[in-house]
Amino acid sequence: MMIELKNIVKEYHLGLETVHALAGIDLNLDKNEYVAIMGPSGSGKSTLMNLLGCLDTPSEGEYHLNSQNVSEMSDDELAEIRNREIGFVFQNFNLLPRASSLHNVELPLIYNGTPASKRKELAEEALTKVGLSDRMHHRPNELSGGQRQRVAVARALVNNPAIILADEPTGNLDTRTGDEIMDLFEDLHDNGNTIIIVTHEEYIAEHSDRIIRLRDGRVERDEAR
Amino acid sequence: MIISLSELSEGFRIALHALKTNRLRTILTTLGILIGVVVITVIISVIQGMNTYVSGELSAIGTDNVFVTQYPWMINSWEEWLRVRGRPKIDSKHFEFIQEYATLAEVVAPEVATRRTVKYRNEDLTRVIIYGTTPGYMVLSDAMPEFGRFFNDSEMQHRRNVCVIGWEIADKLYKDVDPIGKRIKIGSQSFFILGVMEERGQLFDFSMDNNVLIPYTVFQKAFGKHRSLEIQAKAVNPELVEELKDELEELMRRTRGLKVGQENDFNINQQSQLMDVYNNLTKVLWIVLIGIGSIALLVGGIGIMNIMLVSVTERTREIGIRKALGAKRKVILLQFLVESMFISSIGVILGLLISIGLATAIKQASPIPVDISGWVALLGVGFTVTIGLFFGLYPASKASKLDPIEALRYE
Ligand SMILES: Nc1ncnc2c1ncn2[C@@H]1O[C@H](COP(=O)(O)OP(=O)(O)O)[C@@H](O)[C@H]1O
Ligand SMILES: [Mg+2]
């Protein structure tokens, strides 16, 4: 099992009130699964993604990633796991606005010490893979929304991580460009990556092999397709 | 964890970029640092220059010479003046007594002075200093006649009206003639010129060549005995200066008939006392230096801290992105430290340039040799770099501890 969540609880304290963003989640994911996470707004999808992506740690429960207990790791250990194992694609792209596509894609490689020449080669390769070989030196504000998200996908895959996490990656895109991005995820899945994607749209979820529906911080339904 | 080369160069890249986009803000921020560097380096250099200048000038007084005087060289208060003003004069008896009994003095000479108009034919010079002394003057002042000769003991004992004139007198009064063998009128008396002293230059603003030397015996005959003498002595060996001072004190007390417990009614002085006074004056400068310098550096440091806090806030989202992609705390810390060091370095470099300019200007406008020496520059740099690091540390550590999720969500 690649990912094992055991009774994961995530609480937020707002004054005297306690919000249970996640109220006990048990979940297992295998290598090379393609999973869609769905659910109404506020049901805990993003919170779950942040935990899966090691950006956050749970209030209770255990998270094992490749048999390592992630729930008790330090900030820096988590940073290393994120760099090595996980590629993120965000709804709002989260690119560095003043850096070129190439530099944005190079970032994960900078933080694992890949030498400069190798870095450039890998980043160019990743950008070519997403069809942006002619946009290497453009900055995000010189690119369309679809192109920006492609840069983000290139950045997510450049380090060859096992897991790609995408939180509403098509949320800010029109249907056609959204479909193009989904095609990229299909390719990644075909190459053996594990894909976890949060979406509102049934037609996006249809790309996946398994749909997990959340409600009020719990798994409401978990179905293979 | 060691920071990799790629992480380090990314830190520099980010810092350069940030400074390029915020050029004006950066320059304004560095102003405090700049002023700090200028204050520290310029004031230290001025003090150093003044030290060189003053000790150079004071060396004309003779490091090992001891001076017995009626009053102290420096009177620091009205009370002190009231205490010393009734002291008896030092006269030729004291000098002769000391000359006879001092065992540790190589040379002893009296000096008594007045100002007179000197005249040759139709030309005159006013307010020329007339010194009454003995041939010992040459040793004590470390000055010899350039032309002719000094008066001798016999001429002194026989109270001959002979003199040796200073370089400036010869230059101004005997333009086209050889002064030796000529006569000079000092006040109402006529003197025979035996020699011309070598050129001695200035002690601060005071010319040491604008004078006439005559035997002190003649001086008393011509200008009266009412002036107090100053007795100068040079130790047989520089290491015996302190012993010589004790001996002179003892001899003076004996001639004066002072009893045990009675205060001295004269002073034993040395050039080093003037140096002490001068060093006390420079203490004030050091305090000013430390005061203004530390305020400027503090202001500069706070400026850097402020601008770095702004920078961290502005780039919260960027920090979130970098962390999500695997940047560890130390890497983010380094990134912002590099940036604050960059800012303070700009201040330091500009500050050093301005300091060098200022030092050159002071050097040209005054007799003080002001040079920014290597270690002063290093001190300025060291101080500022420390400040940059110290005040940059808080914002950088704040950035490094940001929660990635909150940072990513920051608008
Ligand atoms: N940092 C936070 N502080 C307080 N409450 C939070 C925080 N993050 C999420 N929540 C709450 O947790 C719940 C789940 O949020 P989220 O995971 O973002 O939902 P979704 O992504 O499914 O819309 C919501 O009620 C939200 O208000
Ligand atoms: Mg969400």
Distance in angstroms (rounded) separating the CA atoms of residues B118 and B116: 6
Highest mean pLDDT among A45-59, B6-20, B260-274: A45-59
Residue A156 belongs to domain spanning:
3-224
d(CA B168, CA B200): 10
Q: Which of A6-10, A41-45, B3-7, B242-246 has the lowest mean pLDDT?
A: B3-7
Using a 10 angstrom Cβ sphere, with 0-12 exposed, 13-18 middle and 19 or more buried, the burial of residue A24 is middle
- What's the rounded Cα separation, in Å, for the pair B145 and B139? 12
The atom number, within ligand 1, closest to the CA of A217 reads: 14
CB contact A93 to B (< 8 Å): no
pLDDT exceeds cutoff 90 at B406: yes
Give the integer Cα–Cα distance in Å for A41 and B189: 118
**pLDDT value, residue A139:** 96
Which DSSP helix (H) or strand (E) runs through B400?
Answer: helix B374-400
Q: Is there a contact between B10 and A82 if contact means CB atoms under 8 Å apart? A: no
Distance A20 CA to ligand 1 centre (A): 9
Helix, coil or strand: residue A27: strand
What percentage of chain B reaches a pLDDT higher than 90? 57
Inter-chain touch B324–A115, beta carbons under 8 Å: no
Domain CATH number, residue A145: 3.40.50.300
Question: In whole angstroms, what is the distance from residue A104 CA to residue B324 CA?
Answer: 13
Average pLDDT over residues B330-336: 92
**Given this model, what pLDDT does residue B2 score?**
65
- What's chain B's average pLDDT? 90
Confidence of residue B285 (pLDDT cuts 50, 70, 90): confident
Helix (H, G, I), strand (E, B) or coil at B315: coil
A47 alpha carbon – ligand 1 mean position (Å)? 6
H/E run at residue A32: none
- Nearest-CA neighbor of A167 among A188, A145, A198, A196? A198
CA of A44 to the centre of ligand 1 (A): 6
Contacts (Cβ under 8 Å, ≥6 apart) of B402? B316, B319, B320, B323, B332
Question: What does the pLDDT look like over A1-32, one tens digit per residue?
Answer: 899 999 999 999 988 999 999 999 999 999 99
pLDDT computed for residue B7 by the predictor: 82
What one-letter code names the amino acid at B299?
A: V
Q: Nearest 5°: phi and psi at B222?
A: -80, -40
Those of residues 119-148 in A touching chain B at CB distance below 8 A are 119
Q: Which residues of chain A have pLDDT under 50?
A: none
Give B41-78 pLDDT, tens digit per residue. Answer: 888 888 888 888 888 888 777 778 999 999 998 888 99
Give B210-256 as a DSSP string. Answer: SEEEEEHHHHHHHH-S-SPPEEEEEESSGGGHHHHHHHHHHHHHHHH
> What's the whole-model pTM score?
0.74
Question: Which protein residue has the closest C-alpha to ligand 1 atom 2?
Answer: A12
B365, burial (CB in 10 Å: exposed 0-12, middle 13-18, buried 19+): exposed
Which of B12, B20, B325, B334 to mutate to test binding with chain A, by most A CBs within 10 Å of its CB?
A: B325
> Which residue lies with its CA nearest to atom 8 of ligand 1?
A47
- pLDDT score of B90 more than 70: yes
Q: Which two tokens stand for residue B297?
A: 């550096």
Residue B179 has pLDDT above 60, yes or no: yes
Q: How many domains does the structure of chain A reveal?
A: 1
User: Cβ contact (<8 Å) for A76 and B328?
Assistant: yes
User: Is residue B20 scored above 90 in pLDDT?
Assistant: no
- The mean pLDDT value for B228-239 works out to 93
- pLDDT band with cut points at 50, 70 and 90 for residue B274: confident
Return the ∠ at Cα A163 (arms to A136 and A63), rounded to 5°.
140
What mean pLDDT is predicted for residues B26-44? 85
Across B105-125, average pLDDT = 94
Which one of A53, A111, A155 has the shortest CB-CB distance to B331? A111
Give me ligand 1 centre to Cα A36, in Å: 19
Which ligand 1 atom lies nearest to the CA of residue A39? Answer: 22
Q: What is the pLDDT of residue A168?
A: 94
Quote the CA–CA distance of B342 and A175 in Å, as a whole number. Answer: 46
Rg of chain A over Cα atoms, rounded to whole angstroms, equals 17
> Cα–Cα distance between B41 and B37 in angstroms, integer?
6
| d(CA A108, nearest CA chain B) in Å | 5
Q: Per-residue pLDDT for B188 more than 80?
A: yes
Residues of A in contact with B320 (CB under 8 A): 94
Chain B touched by A96 (CB under 8 Å): yes
Cβ atoms of A142 and A171 closer than 8 Å: no
Tokens 């899966």: give the residue. Answer: A52
Q: Could you tell me if A73 lies within 8 Å of chain B, comparing CB atoms? A: no
Helices (DSSP H) in B259-373: which residue ranges? 271-314, 316-324, 329-365
Listed residue (A166, A160, A104, A111) closest to A136, CA to CA: A104
CB B14 within 8 A of CB B308: no
Mean pLDDT, residues B73-94: 91
Chain B hits for A115, Cβ within 8 Å: 6
Chain B residue numbers with beta carbons less than 8 Å from the beta carbon of A155 are: 325
Ligand nearest to the CA of A41: 1
- Predicted-complex ipTM score: 0.96
Chain B positions touching A109 (Cβ under 8 A) are: 6
Residue nearest (by alpha carbon) to ligand 1 atom 5: A12
Q: How far apart are CA A63 and CA A72, in angstroms?
A: 9
